[in-house]
Amino acid sequence: MRDDTSNLQLLGKTGSEYPTDVDPDILETFPNRFSERDYEVSMVTDEFTSLCPVTGQPDYGTIEVRYVPDKECVESKSLKFYLFSYRQEPTFMETVVNRILDDLVQKCRPRKMTVTGKFRARGGIAIDVSASYDI
């Protein structure tokens, strides 16, 4: 049985342009073929960047998305593009983690999801932020 990929727009394209504005519509999903069972998906990138809304300095971090899918799974290339779109976004670390969670929950309606941001130290303090959703 083949997976349904008919609604995916980014996967398989070469030369795609990276977005410059945050837009949750970038996120794509595909049907979960195993929706009758609980299993966990973990996606991690250590290339996340956003901007401090006060100083304009970059905040570098690792973003981890862990979720138990229901009917839909998040397509990884679209997640990459979505996270990349924050590079010019002035936002606090606490805000960005909660915003990512809200956008992903809205898009794929998981059974459970946790988004964790581990941000590199600036001013001598590293900040880790986790936000969770559970139906």
DSSP string, 7-27: T-SSTT-SSPPPPSS--GGG-
Reduced to 3 states (helix: H, G, I; strand: E, B; else coil), residue 68 is: strand
Q: Which of 22-26, 56-60, 74-78, 122-126 has the lowest mean pLDDT?
A: 122-126
Confidence band of 1 (pLDDT split at 50, 70, 90)? low
52 is annotated as an active-site residue: yes
Among the listed residues 59, 73, 103, 108, the single catalytic one is 59
Q: List, in order of start, the domains of the chain with CATH numbers.
A: 26-134 (3.30.1130.10)
Q: What angle do CA 57, 59, 65 make, to 5 degrees?
A: 160
| Of 116 and 14, the one with more pLDDT | 116
pLDDT at 19: 85
Q: What angle do CA 115, 119, 123 make, to 5 degrees?
A: 150
Q: Give the list of residues 6+ apart from residue 129 with CB closer than 8 angstroms, or none.
A: 93, 94, 97, 98, 116, 117, 119
- Token reading at 102: 């809200």
The sign of the dihedral angle between the CA atoms of 43, 49, 55, 57 is positive
25 is annotated as an active-site residue: no
Q: What angle do CA 13, 84, 63 make, to 5 degrees?
A: 120
pLDDT at 17: 79
Provide the mean pLDDT of the chain: 92
Confidence band of 12 (pLDDT split at 50, 70, 90)? low
* pLDDT tens digits, 53-96: 999 999 999 999 999 999 999 999 999 999 999 999 999 999 99
Please report, rounded to a whole number, the percentage of residues in the chain having pLDDT higher than 70.
88
Among the listed residues 23, 52, 102, 134, the single catalytic one is 52
Q: What is the pTM of this model?
A: 0.88
Could you list the beta-strand ranges (E) of the chain: 29-31, 41-51, 58-68, 72-74, 112-122, 125-134
